[in-house]
Amino acid sequence: MDKLKGTVTELRRGKSVSYNPKTGTSVIHAAVFRLDGQLVKIVSSTPLVIAEGQDIVVVGRRRAKVFVAYAHRNLTTGHEGHEGWATRLLVTIFVVTAALWLGSLMGGQYAVVSGIVFVALGFAMAWRSLEVVQALVLLRR
């Protein structure tokens, strides 16, 4: 986990809105910018309070040429945000539990295969949630 601090330049923003009749509307906010020369990407379910020329701190991981920020703090405005972890962790627990229950009803080889797949996906999602929590702890130090 790395921490970067600097001034925002070349800011580009995006927003994705989707609607599902069962779950309602969901909005994903994204920003890509340079932080003292390093390309940074932030994705969040809450609006990003970042503007050109502001000083921010981001915590996350380098992925190839892009620094993916899990948590951020705008030093100019004091606003803090993160990728989100609680909902992802709860949904992961629910989906893995439901998949294992359904797999036990099916029985046989289908149960084993579906169990392995959903446990692996659940582990990956839970790991990402823990990384976001770790980023928040590091950001607040």
Which range is least confidently modeled, 17-21, 51-55, 81-85?
Answer: 81-85
> Sign (positive/negative) of CA torsion 124, 130, 135, 138?
negative
- Highest-pLDDT range among 33-37, 114-118, 126-130: 33-37
Q: What residue ranges in 21-123 does DSSP mark as E strands?
A: 24-35, 38-44, 55-63, 66-74, 80-82
- Phi, psi (degrees; rounded to nearest 5) at 20: -130, 125
Going by their DSSP bridges, the two strands 38-44 and 55-63 should be labelled as unpaired
- Residue of 92, 90, 72, 89 lying closest to 136 (CA atoms): 72
Place of tokens 């948590």: 71
| 81 strand-pairing partners | 72
Residue range 63-91: mean pLDDT, rounded:
85
Could you give the CA distance from residue 108 to residue 56 in angstroms, rounded to a whole number? 53
Averaged confidence pLDDT in the chain: 85
Query: pLDDT at position 141, please?
Result: 82
Statement: residue 111 has pLDDT above 90: no
Residue range 108-123: mean pLDDT, rounded:
76
Q: Has this prediction a pTM greater than 0.75?
A: no
